[in-house]
Amino acid sequence: MTVTAQHRYAEVNGVRLHIAEQGEGPLVLLLHGFPESWYSWRHQFGPLAAAGYRVVAPDQRGYARSEQPGDADAYSLLHLAGDVISLIHALGEEQAVVVGHDWGAPVAWVTAMLRPDVVRAVAGLSVPPVLPAGMAPPEAARQHYGDGFYQIYFQQPGVADAELGRDPASTFRRILSSGSGDRPGDTTPRPWVVPDGMTLIDSVPEPERLPAWLTPEDIDAFAQDYAGHGERAFTGPLNWYRNIRRNNELLTAFKGRGIDQPALYVAGDRDMVMSLRGIDELLASLKTVAPKLHRSIVLPGCGHWTQQERPAEVNAALLDFLGHLPDPSPARR
């Protein structure tokens, strides 16, 4: 798919981030998840820009064309929230609406929790707010799902890195297809658990054909975005997972904080996240955590890759949400 966004780099919070941007107007910042890039928002640029918004999607810290700090400790949620705030200011803005998918959602929720003066509204796709630290610590995940749970598997330095980086195009075909709502066979969502004796990459086989929403050109675009980091292409993204325990430690002081701003949640009913322990309670508590929740939308038949699988529905939900927001502050940096 051809995207007419402009590309450049911005120095923010000590790292060099690649960003794609299109349009003029109030700033809407789009944060991708694992293992993606700015390109996961390819269907959102045109409609949001045409509606009068300035749309910016970075490759987040460690991902794709952006800089990859070498220290694993440099990927905590405090670093990632700092990147968001610094990027908003580097773009000459005082405020933004922040939208996140997958890992981008915890970054969006936590940044909104920490800086309601800068994040004027927030939307999360797939992952609901798990405050204050984004997600449960690895000990809880291991207790519920065992050592094969993907978040536990990712903790081993160098292991998943090598498997995912061996053939990035194959990695994207496997992971994107396996998480799709229209994957062949049983579409009941289940946690991603690597069976004993199997490697991570073998637990998600090569698809016989790509899902209808994904093209070979899309796979090439993702793979090319990751080409610059060579064998370490996925080390930066995996280091996000290696900070889950630290996030819970670092953000303990914010326990009990919620989301003060207008909020939106969108997910698919075939999303793996919907199978995780406690998700029903999290969804039931959305209005408590985010009292100004505009809507909570569950898309039938949609898998994990919300804005890619169902761009028309996601765009309509985002535009409806944005249209109900108060006018932004006229202040600019």
Q: pLDDT tens, 249-266?
A: 999 999 999 999 999 999
The reported pTM is 0.97
Task: State the DSSP H helix or E strand holding residue 307, giving kind and residue range, or none if neither.
Answer: helix 306-309
- Closest by CA to 14, choosing from 65, 77, 76, 79, is 79
Confidence of residue 330 (pLDDT cuts 50, 70, 90): low
Which of 73-87, 240-254, 319-333 has the least mean pLDDT?
Answer: 319-333
Q: Is the pLDDT of residue 3 over 90?
A: no
Confidence of residue 333 (pLDDT cuts 50, 70, 90): very low
Active site residue 102: yes
Q: Is the pLDDT of residue 273 over 80?
A: yes
Of the residues 59, 79, 101, 102, only one is catalytic, namely 102
Active site residue 43: no
Ranges of beta strands (E only) in the chain are 6-12, 15-22, 27-31, 54-58, 96-101, 119-125, 263-268, 293-299
Q: pLDDT tens, 83-141?
A: 999 999 999 999 999 999 999 999 999 999 999 999 999 999 999 999 999 998 888 99
Using DSSP's 3-state secondary structure scheme, residue 267 falls into strand
Confidence of residue 231 (pLDDT cuts 50, 70, 90): confident
- Residues near 326 by beta carbon (within 8 Å), at least 6 away in sequence: none
Q: pLDDT tens, 30-43?
A: 999 999 999 999 99
| CA dihedral angle for residue 9, residue 41, residue 47, residue 29, rounded to 10 degrees | -50
Confidence of residue 159 (pLDDT cuts 50, 70, 90): very high
Angle at Cα 144 formed by Cα 138 and Cα 146, nearest 5°? Answer: 75
Q: Is the pLDDT of residue 331 over 70?
A: no
Q: Is the pLDDT of residue 328 over 90?
A: no
What radius of gyration do the chain's Cα atoms show? 18
